[in-house]
Amino acid sequence: MNAPHAFHPLARLLHWTMAVLILAMLFIGVGMVTTVSGKHQWLLAIHRPLGATLFVLVLLRLCVRLRFKPPALPADMPALMQFVAHASHWVLYGLMLAMPLVGWAMLSAGGYPVMLGSAWHLPPLLPANGEVFAWLRLTHRYLAYLLFLTILGHMGAALYHALIRRDDVFPSMTFPSLAHAPSPEPVITADDASSIPANEAEGHIVEPAAPAPTRPPAAPEE
């Protein structure tokens, strides 16, 4: 089966929804660790359910990715660039799964309930342990740094495809109707083909030359 020219609409919807939520999550996390005011608890109350939401969305996105085949990368991309593109995507998936799980385990090890509302909370993943809590907190921080750098690389690659290569990679995740249509093969006539060397005429569509117009016979002289 041929690869589609664009991502599935559900995949595009999940991509851009998660992009907004992840950027919000990162900035909320920065605000949490840089303030000791009353806004800390307010940010924390947003951070926890948002992390749980992203965890569910990334699982759904993985199912969509495995169910619907993504479009192929341009054939003229170097092999190393294609490898980096595929590897960075799976690194991004791994980080999006690891971040909420590590955060959940960190709060469990610290003895903090993971509240998703006023009355609903998640069960603890680990028993309370101060050393594990400190280690997971450090891990959560560095994973956030790595996620931020990976997102910057992902954005840079998207701009590279959109502004420099100008190929169909960026439209495949935004507006597939903007993708470049394949250019039609040139059409030449038989008269033109006679003047083109054989090795250059291959692959062209040759149309027969139109017959020369015939003049009606002249009327006999009286």
Pair 189, 206 in one domain: yes
pTM of the predicted model as reported, rounded to 2 decimal places? 0.72
Q: Does residue 222 fall inside a structural domain?
A: no
Residue tagged 């603890």 (tokens): 124
Residue 36 has a pLDDT of 67
Q: Is the separation of the CB atoms in 106 and 71 below 8 Å?
A: no
Statement to judge: residues 129 and 202 lie in one domain: no
Is 171 in the same domain as 187?
no
Backbone angles phi, psi at 206, to 5 degrees: -105, 125
Residues 40 and 140 in one domain: yes
pLDDT of residue 175: 82
Whether 155 and 193 map to the same domain: the answer is: no
Looking at residue 173, its pLDDT comes to 86
3-state secondary structure of 111: coil
Number of domains in the chain: 2
- Give the range of the structural domain holding residue 170, as residue numbers without chain letter: 9-178
Q: What pLDDT does residue 117 have?
A: 67
| CA gap 94, 30 in Å, rounded | 21
Does 86 share its domain with 63? yes
Whether 219 maps to a domain, the answer reads no
136 and 59 in a single domain? The answer is yes
* Token pair 């999550």 in the structure block, residue: 25
C-alpha closest to that of 77 among 162, 161, 179: 161
Same domain assignment for residues 162 and 205: no
What SS3 state is found at 122?
strand
41 and 138: one domain? Answer: yes
Q: Is residue 36 part of a domain?
A: yes
At 87, which CATH number?
1.20.950.20
pLDDT in tens, the chain (222 residues): 566 888 889 999 999 999 999 989 888 888 877 776 777 778 888 888 888 899 999 999 999 999 998 888 888 888 998 999 999 999 999 999 999 999 999 999 998 888 776 677 888 899 999 999 999 999 999 999 999 999 999 999 999 988 998 888 888 888 877 655 444 455 555 555 555 555 554 555 545 555 555 555 555 554
Residue 172 pLDDT: 86
The identity of residue 122, as a single letter, is L
Residue 40 lies in a domain: yes
CA distance 87 to 116: 33
221 assigned to some structural domain: no
Whether residue 112 sits in one domain with residue 18: yes
In a domain, 3, yes or no: no
Residue 59 included in any domain:
yes
Q: Residue 198 CB: number of other CB atoms within 10 A?
A: 7
Task: Say whether both 49 and 115 belong to one domain.
Answer: yes
Q: Looking at the structure, do residues 49 and 108 belong to the same domain, yes or no?
A: yes
Residue 119 lies in a domain: yes
CB 32 within 8 A of CB 197: no
SS3 state of residue 207? strand
